[in-house]
């Protein structure tokens, strides 16, 4: 799909299926190079990549940092506590600073939905959303899709059950958009308190029971349960949650015998997923998700860098 139609990667919603497929193909190629220990250091040579994290995330930051290093970029990590940046104007001042420093690629995680899009309007750099509020986390959805495609051969026609705290999950939101775009049948499964009101309008099936939600599913995607959900009354207790919505062998038996199990990490073992399932060498693809994470981020950096003018 040349030339690529997007300067930034802010959300999955609205991306063209052929563009998504191109990103996945390119990422698959990087996954192969990574396994062979090969790098492509000339691709981003002389490019400045800034990791701007307003929320802590060692895992995602590290994944982007490795992706950028393997492509030869100069990488600077900027960790900022949100407390010091609590005004909209200040975020725009940050944009102006990043422009003046000749940033080429900006990876941003921010607690407020829409912050990356706001920055993208003001920045010369290509902006990659690494998670914004409860909005989207597009590279997570891409790495999930790549992992599924490698295991199932295709995304087309698969039944995917996304389970747990869908309401607060940007991971779920990005996955729903991507999987629907690629013609999956998407179900969301969880207690009524954790299912967004607009769910049905998105074109997904809503289930409140793991039994019906997982029935004949090809993919079971568990979400992380934030601890604070238990203290604010949305979930009675970790034990109760596990009993009804935690993935164990009994519940997984409702899915297809060759179904795969996913989790974006970090896991709360014994809360949303049983350890035996998480560590199942055949069904669990959790490690492969992390591996594909680096590959997908390399593909995204590569594609967006092609859209940058060499000399601003």
Question: Which residue ranges make up the annotated binding site?
Answer: 59-60, 87, 109, 137, 140, 170, 224, 265-266
Tell me if 82 contacts a copy of itself by CB under 8 A. no
Q: What are all long-range contacts of 110-117, with beta carbons under 8 Å and residues at least 24 apart?
A: 110/54, 110/55, 110/82, 111/54, 111/55, 111/82, 115/54, 115/91, 116/8, 116/10, 117/10, 117/11
Closest CB to a copy of itself among 133 and 265? 265
Q: Which stretch binds a copy of itself (CB under 8 A): 63-71, 155-163, 197-205, 233-241?
A: 63-71
> Which pairing describes strands 185-189 and 159-163: parallel, antiparallel, or unpaired?
parallel
Q: For residues 191 and 245, what is the distance between their CA atoms, to the nearest angstrom? A: 8
**By the rule CB under 8 A, 273 interacts with a copy of itself:** no
83 scored as a contact of a copy of itself (CB under 8 A): no
Residue 263: half-sphere exposure toward Cβ, Cα within 13 Å: 24
Distance of CA 100 to the CA centre of its chain: 29
Q: Is 273 strand, coil or helix?
A: strand
**Minimal distance in Å, beta carbon 295 to a copy of itself?**
10
Quick one: how many helices (H) and strands (E) in the chain? Answer: 12, 9
End-to-end CA distance of the chain: 24
* Rounded-to-integer distance, Cα 2 and Cα 266, Å: 36
| Exposed/middle/buried for residue 218 (C-beta within 10 Å: 0-12, 13-18, 19+) | buried
What minimum distance in Å lies between the beta carbon of 274 and a copy of itself?
11
Site for a copy of itself in 92-121 (CB under 8 A): 93, 96-97, 99-102
Beta bridge pairs of residue 185:
159
- Number of shown-chain residues binding a copy of itself (CB under 8 A): 48
Sole window of 5-13, 87-95, 189-197, 230-238 interacting with a copy of itself (rule: CB under 8 A) = 87-95
Residue 65 interacts with a copy of itself (CB under 8 A): yes or no: yes
By C-alpha distance, which of 294, 293, 297 is closest to 305? 297
If one asks whether residue 134 binds a copy of itself (CB under 8 A), the answer comes out as no
The interface region with a copy of itself, picked from 5-13, 108-116, 184-192, 285-293 by CB under 8 A, is 285-293
Q: What is the DSSP letter of 200?
A: G
Only segment of 73-81, 124-132, 208-216, 241-249 that touches a copy of itself (CB under 8 A): 73-81
Contact range with a copy of itself by CB under 8 A, out of 86-94, 132-140, 170-178, 240-248: 86-94
Closest contact distance (angstroms) between CB of 14 and a copy of itself is 30
Site for a copy of itself in 32-61 (CB under 8 A): 34-39, 46, 48, 50, 58-59
Residues that bind a copy of itself (CB under 8 A): 34-39, 46, 48, 50, 58-59, 62-63, 65-66, 69-70, 74, 76, 78-80, 87, 89-90, 93, 96-97, 99-102, 265-267, 269, 275, 286-291, 293-294, 310-312
């Amino acid at each position: 799909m040349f030339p690529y139609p997007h300067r930034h990667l802010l959300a999955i919603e609205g991306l063209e299926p052929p563009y998504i497929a191109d990103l996945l193909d390119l990422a698959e190629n990087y996954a192969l190079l990574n396994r062979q220990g090969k790098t492509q250091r000339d691709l981003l040579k002389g490019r400045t990549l800034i990791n701007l994290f307003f929320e802590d995330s060692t895992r995602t930051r590290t994944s982007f940092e490795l992706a950028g290093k393997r492509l030869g970029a100069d990488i600077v990590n900027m960790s900022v506590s949100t407390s010091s940046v609590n005004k909209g104007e200040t975020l725009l001042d940050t944009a102006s600073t990043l422009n003046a420093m000749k940033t080429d690629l900006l990876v941003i995680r921010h607690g407020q939905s829409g912050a990356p899009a706001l920055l993208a309007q003001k920045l010369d750099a290509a902006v990659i959303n690494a998670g914004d509020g409860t909005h989207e986390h597009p590279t997570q959805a891409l790495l999930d899709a790549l992992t599924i495609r490698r295991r199932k051969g295709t995304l087309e026609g698969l039944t995917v059950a996304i389970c747990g705290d869908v309401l607060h999950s940007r991971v779920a939101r990005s996955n729903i958009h991507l999987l629907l775009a690629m013609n999956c049948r998407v179900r969301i499964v969880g207690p009524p308190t954790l299912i967004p009101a607009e769910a049905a309008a998105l074109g997904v099936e809503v289930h409140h029971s793991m039994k019906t939600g997982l029935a004949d599913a090809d993919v079971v995607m568990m979400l992380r349960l934030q601890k604070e959900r238990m203290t604010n009354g949305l979930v009675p207790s970790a034990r109760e949650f596990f009993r009804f919505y935690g993935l164990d062998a009994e519940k997984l038996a409702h899915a297809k015998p060759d179904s795969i199990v996913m989790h974006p990490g970090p896991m709360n073992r014994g809360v949303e997923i049983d350890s035996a399932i998480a560590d199942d060498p055949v069904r669990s693809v959790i490690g492969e998700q992390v591996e594909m994470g680096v590959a997908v981020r390399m593909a995204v950096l590569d594609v967006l860098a092609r859209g940058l003018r060499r000399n601003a």
